[in-house]
Structure 1
Amino acid sequence: MTAETVMSMSYQAMKIALAMAGPALLVMLAVGLIISIFQAATQINEMTLSFIPKILSMVLVLALTGPWLIGLMVDYIRQLFGSIPTLIG
């Protein structure tokens, strides 16, 4: 196994991790921003006001993107397992 293959595999793994975490993180960022603007405007500083909508949005995003995320991970693992013989020899 050469350094080029290791770097290629690392790049691909980071790309898959970013693609899987990206949608949930972006939605959480948007919901957090909206809630913080609401809290600043109304001066309500309740912790559950920021926590519960973030959890609900995370559940919704994972429910909507779950099949795509599983398919993405299964394709990556199949490709990784398929390349094992070429990496060994």
Structure 2
Amino acid sequence: MLTPDIAVNIITHAVQITGLIVCVLVVPSLLGGLLVAIFQAATQINEQMLSFLPRLLITLTMLIVAGHWILRTLSELFIESFRQAGGLVG
């Protein structure tokens, strides 16, 4: 039977996994953007492409590097959710 405690645990676990995956993709891009912003401030180069392209490349690189782990983690989350759903119905 699905109780509020079980529902909160399921949702909490899903949000934690989602937050972890987002951090893996976004934090390196933020750090790269910070380095580019510092470089732009030091050299007074105000080019928008210079700030966008490195962040895009970092995000794509992280998708390539961590893509297998992300898919495996999401697969485990969904498999676990469906297993729990079978036991919680009825």
TM-score bracket, normalised by the shorter chain, equals over 0.9
- Give the TM-score normalised by structure 1: 0.96
Distance 2:51 2:25 in 1: 16
Distance 1:75 1:24 in 2: 19
Residue 26 of structure 1 is matched in structure 2 by 27
Residue 64 of structure 2 is matched in structure 1 by 63
Show structure 1 runs of 5+ residues with no match: none
**SS of 2:46's equivalent?**
coil
Provide Cα deviations, 1:1-58, integer angstroms capped at 9, x if missing partner: 1110111011001111011111111101100110000010001111000001110011
Q: Which runs of 4+ in 1 moved over 2 A?
A: none
Show structure 2 runs of 5+ residues with no match: none
- Give the TM-score normalised by structure 2: 0.95
Distance 1:60 1:66 in 2: 9
Residue 75 of structure 1 is matched in structure 2 by 76
Q: Which structure would you say has the larger RCO, counting Cα contacts within 8 Å and 6 or more residues apart?
A: 2
Give % identity: 30
Residue 41 of structure 1 is matched in structure 2 by 42
1:2 maps to 2:3: yes
